[in-house]
Structure 1
Amino acid sequence: MHIDSLIDDLIDREGGYVHHPADRGGATCWGVTEAVARANGYHGAMRALPRNVAASIHRRLYWLRPAFNRVHDRAPDLAAELFDTGVNMGPTVAVAFLQRALNALNRGATDYPDLAIDGAVGPITLAALDAFLATRGEGGETVLLKAIEALQGERYLSLAERRPANEAFLYGWLANRLG
């Protein structure tokens, strides 16, 4: 799937303006928090954030900056999941999930060396991904996606357990962000 389609799907899923009292992120529009919008030069009312401005922010901060476009060249479905997780939890968290999963799936570092969990897609992470996909073949991307979604689901549950106000979001997170 092309990034334009991923962004359109994400924005459709996120919807327009929301300001839920239990959301520590505050007001959002099209999946962009007010803090992120302001940090990226938007000064208007969050209710009026143009969709194309949100799309530009998503592309720059959650696709290009974390190098998910480079993952896409190797594993498009994986890149789509990392993009969505990155918007929801932050790109560093999404990449850390990838790195943890790659480490757990490298058969004791016999397929490729363990990665430092630094939350950055760089040449070492890409080399490990390449080695994993070459070793595991067509089904490898699917298994890697399952591992990342398991980590994501555990994080959602943990967030709700640590802060009961997050229970307001748990059902939607599990329904709309996994699988």
Structure 2
Amino acid sequence: MRLILVGPPGAGKGTQAIRLVEKYGIPQLSTGDMLRAAVAAQTPVGLKAKEVMDSGGLVSDEIVVGIIRDRIAEDDAKNGFILDGFPRTVAQAEALDEMLEAGSYKVDAVVELRVDQTKLVDRIVKRAEDAKAAGEPVRKDDDPIVFKQRLEAYNRDTAVVVPYYEKTGLLHVIDGMQSIEEVAGSIDSVLQGLDERV
């Protein structure tokens, strides 16, 4: 099972990915984590990435795709994986397709957690206010200004991959405003349908 989770920050991708990892026994691959791991392991791609990051640049698609290629070749990803935070652009989506085809694999489904972004911002603001009221530190991600910037970056960059996958017929839209349990049930229904097709 090779899945891609798409959705804005705060939509619940991380929560659902943890559950899917346990259910299917496949790893969740986060590009940020993989980049750090490749840099720490000093792999050829990791060294390239470190050089770019140290100079304050953005890691190129070529480097990110190389890191994904190395990671999905590892034993724990042989039966599948969940991609979170990749692909972020249509160029990355096309590179992923080519890479998987070379190994006779394909993406099985793209699950988009679609949310009302206005309500999402309200939810984050409330979470920050509740933390302050309880005398707890506010998570950096929950700072409304930081969160709105992350949301803008998602809408500008990553949201463009949704129409790409819609055209391929792989996209499954889930209402991310439901409860965690309801979202999980909706995802399970989509994946069960895939299992029945195989």
TM-score range, shorter chain: under 0.3
Greater relative CO (CA pairs within 8 A, separation 6+): 2
Higher Rg: 2
Structure with the higher helix share, 1 or 2: 1
The structure in which a higher percent of residues are strand is 2
TM-score by length of 2: 0.23
